[in-house]
Amino acid sequence: MRQAVDRVAARPEVVSREEWNAARDALLRKEKALTLRLDELAAERRRLPMVRIDKPYVFEGPDGRASLVDLFHGRRQLVIYHFMYGPDGHICTGCSMVVDNMGHPAHLNARGTTRVLVSRAPFADLEAYRRRMGWREPWYSSHGGDFNFDFGVSSDAGETFGLSVFLRAGDQVFHTYFTDRRGVEHLGPNWSYLDLTPFGRQEAWEDSPPGWPQDRPYVWWRKHDEYDPPARVESVHRSGGGVPGGAGA
């Protein structure tokens, strides 16, 4: 890792503590404004209408066959992470990073909310991978059913990922929210932590100063037991800034 650090030619400007405080205060005002805007978006999200789910979906999980109501584990709210793992055996590395960063569920449970994973691969495959990764998250298979197709994460073109939220009233279930692509990034604090660092995610789409270490998105991602020891850093030093939004939204 020492060699990787020494290869970085460009670094942030060195200034006095007074100059740093001024620059930080200016950024802090923008961060606080964004926080308030995110609060406004959350308020709008809480006012979204919802759709009643009438189809009797069937899943296979750690206790055998389960209905959509069963996935709530007796609570009133359900968050499903649509993990990209289909019958073809391809396991999404980005999804694995997201689940690596999922915190202890007790805090969600205390607010009447359950979080589970759902994928289209057979349950035996999901359970084997869950054990390999050491995850605690309940993982259910929708193999052979319409669930993934109905919620837009499986198609004839293959599998993708996303997040759905459901509300329960007795045995009635309602779909209240869905997001995908970069909408699930906040579930994986890897990216949140890296966004706070001088070099960011070190990916070519980011708007960074000239000379910052960057390479193509996704190429550095690994399952957590597949990184080389020690981790390799192969950076591409560019002559110009990144391309904002290059990784999509």
Residue 138 sits in a domain of what CATH number? 3.40.30.10
Beta strands in the chain (DSSP E): 51-53, 58-61, 64-67, 77-82, 113-119, 139-141, 154-155, 158-159, 162-169, 172-179, 213-214, 236-237
Q: Do 59 and 170 belong together in one domain?
A: yes
Residue for token pair 């390999």: 132
Residue 248 dihedral angles phi and psi, to the nearest 5°:
85, 175
Q: Do 70 and 151 belong together in one domain?
A: yes
56 within some domain = yes
Domain edge (last residue) among 143, 163, 186: 186
pLDDT-derived band at 38 (thresholds 50, 70, 90) equals confident
Q: Do 238 and 125 belong together in one domain?
A: no
The whole-chain average pLDDT of the chain stands at 84
Q: Do 205 and 95 belong together in one domain?
A: no
Counted domains in the chain: 2
109 within some domain = yes
**Burial 186-224, CB ≥16 within 10 A → b, else e:** ebbbebeeeeeeebbbbbbbbebeeebbbbebeebeeee
Q: pLDDT (tens digit, 9 = 90+) per residue, 205-232? A: 887 778 877 888 878 778 778 877 644 4
CA distance 165 to 244: 29
43 within some domain = no
The alpha helices in 114-208, defined as continuous H runs, are 123-133, 147-150, 189-195
Cβ-Cβ contacts under 8 Å for 121 (sequence gap 6 or more): 85, 86, 87, 89, 141, 143
Q: Do 134 and 237 belong together in one domain?
A: no
Residue 137 dihedral angles phi and psi, to the nearest 5°:
-65, 130
Q: Do 91 and 181 belong together in one domain?
A: yes
11 within some domain = no
Q: Do 202 and 90 belong together in one domain?
A: no
CA distance 79 to 177: 9
Q: pLDDT (tens digit, 9 = 90+) per residue, 135-155? A: 999 999 999 999 999 999 999
Q: Do 104 and 210 belong together in one domain?
A: no
Q: Do 144 and 231 belong together in one domain?
A: no
Whether cis (ω within 30° of 0) applies to the bond prior to 230 is yes
User: For residues 166 and 77, is the Cβ–Cβ distance under 8 A?
Assistant: yes
Q: Do 58 and 160 belong together in one domain?
A: yes
Q: pLDDT (tens digit, 9 = 90+) per residue, 73-127? A: 999 889 999 999 999 999 999 999 999 988 888 888 888 889 999 999 999 999 9
Q: Do 114 and 90 belong together in one domain?
A: yes
Higher-pLDDT residue of 86 and 199 is 86
**In the predicted structure, residue 7 carries a pLDDT above the cut 50:** yes
Q: Which amino acid is at 199?
A: F
Range of the domain at 57: 51-186
pLDDT score, position 58? 97
Hey, what are 159's tokens? 């599998």
Q: Do 202 and 237 belong together in one domain?
A: yes
| % of the chain residues with pLDDT over 90 | 49
